[in-house]
């Protein structure tokens, strides 16, 4: 299945979350899945936006469904992260809390990928690529890099 990879820089976490929510609102039931990838000076962020028909049947499973590729990417670089209650855990403490929402016709799973990653011996592009490959493997998607469409940009402007 074809999916969209949208990379953008965001000065603040709230800007990223707002963009992810607005992008999810703009999607139809038949839309292709989207991964929104954001970078700031201190962390990376991602949002997985997919029609609910592609998400697990129970909403309680959406967090693990969306976060598993991030955990696999951390482990690829020697960081022993794991899935836990509502987020990503490292050495017994939560390092990233997950936002899980049903937005319009879509499931939205969003999370920061914080500081331990910045300490790893990997460039930002290396980690982004590892994460993208893990999403492709887990969900069976093939990504095409894209920008928000005119229709999606209109949702950004009026929301």
What residue segments make up the domains of the chain, in order of their start?
Answer: 2-158
Q: Output 13 or 121, whichever has higher pLDDT.
A: 13
Whether the full predicted model's pTM is greater than 0.85, yes or no, is: yes
Output the six-digit token pair for 97: 């809390």
Q: Binning pLDDT at 50, 70 and 90, where does residue 159 land?
A: very low
Cα–Cα dist 141/137, whole Å: 7
pLDDT in tens, 23-40: 999 999 999 999 999 987
For the 2-158 domain, the top CATH level (class) is alpha beta
**Exposed/middle/buried for residue 8 (C-beta within 10 Å: 0-12, 13-18, 19+):** middle
Residue pair 62/55 in contact (Cβ under 8 Å)? The answer is yes
pLDDT in tens, 54-65: 999 999 999 999
Name residues whose C-beta falls within 8 Å of residue 133's C-beta, 6 or more positions apart in sequence.
Answer: none
């Amino acid at each position: 299945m074809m999916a969209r990879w949208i990379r953008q820089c965001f000065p603040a976490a709230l800007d990223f979350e707002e963009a992810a929510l607005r992008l999810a609102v703009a999607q139809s039931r038949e839309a292709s899945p989207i991964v929104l990838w954001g970078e700031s000076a201190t962390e990376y962020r991602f949002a997985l936006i997919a029609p609910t028909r592609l998400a697990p049947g129970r909403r309680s499973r959406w967090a693990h469904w969306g976060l598993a590729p991030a955990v696999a990417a951390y482990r690829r670089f020697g960081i022993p992260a794991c899935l836990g209650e509502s987020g990503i855990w490292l050495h017994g403490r939560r390092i990233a809390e997950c936002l899980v929402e049903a937005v319009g016709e879509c499931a939205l799973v969003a999370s920061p990928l914080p500081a331990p990653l910045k300490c790893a011996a990997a460039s930002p592009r290396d980690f982004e690529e590892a994460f993208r490959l893990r999403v492709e493997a887990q969900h069976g998607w093939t990504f095409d890099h894209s920008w928000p469409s005119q229709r999606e940009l209109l949702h950004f402007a009026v929301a």
